[in-house]
Structure 1
Amino acid sequence: MYLVQSHHRPVTRGIAGLSEAVVDLSAVRENVRSFRERVPQQLMAVVKADAFGHGAVPVARAAVEAGASWLGVAQAGEALELRAAGIRVPILTWLYDAAELVLLRDVDVSVSTVAELQRVVSTPSVRYVHLKLDTGLHRAGSAPDQWIELTRTAAHYEALGAVTVRGIWSHLSHGASADTVQSRWQLQFLRAGVRLARRAGLRPQVVHLANSAGAVTLDAPDTDLVRIGAGLYGIDELDMGLRPAMRLMSKLVQVRRIRAGEGVSYGHDFIAQRDTTIALIPLGYADGIPRVARPASVLCRGVRMPVVGRVAMDQFVVDAGDLAVEVGDSVTVFGDGSAGEPTAQDWADWAGTIPHEIYCGIGSRVPRRYEAVGR
């Protein structure tokens, strides 16, 4: 067994309990290579939110082994976790507070305002910044009417040796379908921002805008880097043949027969229409099983079994019909679909959300087991 101390949760390998999330790192590597074959730019593997619940350190290592030259995280603590694990490629973080800056000695930070830049400059431990321009997402990023002031101030501090502007970047507002008029307009807006930055005297090493979908569909040869998040984990928005990297496994812990007319779980939302066998699975909404998912199912003994009754905090029930199931039988809650099991996309559809949320929601009580480590 080895133990990786995660910023979000302990990530274990080799401890199999009632349930586990099995992460196939060979799928992560294949997905990275798939993007490398399609795009000329460098790849930033986005491993924020504990790598979408897959485990930041193992996934980051696999992505770098496959050719990712950058890593991206949201929060400062996530960057520090990767550094503590000995990962040395450039890392960009975009959410931090002033107190955390002193810790980010060898981490690139995003800057959207002159005030943020001044806080960075006042912390000599930070060397590299990426100036972010809001090109239309209207979330983080410099407002267009403040961009000239930001770039001129950054150039001033760079001339003094106080900081280096390593990158200029922005974020697509229609990232899941990047080949849109809006995305192309954002690219033009970013190009104008880069021109203004160069006029101010800046010479950024990398310019980046595209996410996983945009990397393939947005024609942006003058950018240097693309950020691969969803695609890294096999969320295949463009039908590229990406492989989902996680499967969620569990076991039946109770099996019983109920009669027609009997109800199941809180509120008896489900009433059996015939005598049937029901089985209990030890996962609930505390573990990331969406309470609102309808009509959900799992795979057991090669058969899709519907979830019946309300999902509880720690467990849910499935209808096995007349199938002869037993306590201890293996259950696939989701996987890549190759054996007929549901996928994370299926669960997202049932819950009215996106697969990103399904993966990120798998809770800390579910141990992660890693396959293809170090290959």
Structure 2
Amino acid sequence: MPPAIGPTRVWCITRTRPGKREECGELDVGNHNWRVEVLDGTLKASKSGSLSVSKQAANLFDVALTAWPVELEGGGLVFLQVHVWNHANSAISVKGFIEDEEGAVIKRIDGYEGRIPAKGYKNLTFTYNLAGVGNHTFKLFLDNYDGEPNGAGEEHWSNVAVEVKPMKGSELKQVGFDCNDPEFNWKGTEYKASLVCRAFIYNPTQNDISLNAVAVKEWHTDNTDFTNSLGPWVVVDYPDTIRSSETSTITFRNTAHTSLHTLEMDLFGVYASISLTYIISPQHGDDVHFTGYDTINIRQDDKDVVVDGGTQAILDFIGGEELVVAVRTKDALKTLPFVVQFFREAWGWIND
């Protein structure tokens, strides 16, 4: 009789070479045969066995956290994947988070992402830029109650480790690049959003490298309306020195400006690709050129948009352009109680 694996039906296989990674799945109740083969053009080695799942899972659901790759040189982009299996005959909702080795939450899971169909499963994948030589452990927590590890509901933890190894080389290396999702907010006279991109630079040499300057050579987006909304200058923040075998962050900031019409018709919800080429000038040695790429999702503050858009429509009808200009901010709206009352009743979630 093959060995039983107990009440859980989740299995994971770790492949160590090439490109170390872990893959997970689920087994039905019953007997199962397995076989592992090592191939390099021809069969190099193999091993077979069997196991059984002795009974239905005792858990309502099971989880696993995997990462790829689990080994990096100098740092870089890691794909973290959350696996959730629902053993129940009805759909369930799970909530929780992923935290890094310092306990900082880097991803929250709830809402649609946490909805798991009956007798089904869901895989959630997102990326994370990892820097710093050493072992990094990520922890996943999920429950079916409130998303907090307080003993309420059925709770599950899963961990995965990623190792960042020193990188050999004689000059600086870009090991990661990302940008935030800009959110437009009403700023008195127009809608504004901050675009912040970060480059992660690793020093593989045996010496600290001091920087004279970091300058943007060129940047592009594939959305004309968003490009036109951005300011002409990019503000760059960079460290004075990048220590040997360490990773430092260079930050690029810009501000987008737009009207309500352009935001609603052309920008909100749009995905835009960004490329940014920059030059690092060390105190000793030649300039180094890098280009970073990322994709952003343009967002908006819905409360500002509802107040502004609704007021625009009503006041265009009752008062004309001069009255519209006078009451475009939420503070100014308080001078027109009937308009404020209308929006508070129609959209109760709008704050003062």
TM-score, structure 2 as length reference? 0.22
TM-score, structure 1 as length reference? 0.21
Greater RCO (CA < 8 Å, at least 6 residues apart): 1
Q: Which has the higher helix share?
A: 1
Q: Which has the higher strand share?
A: 2
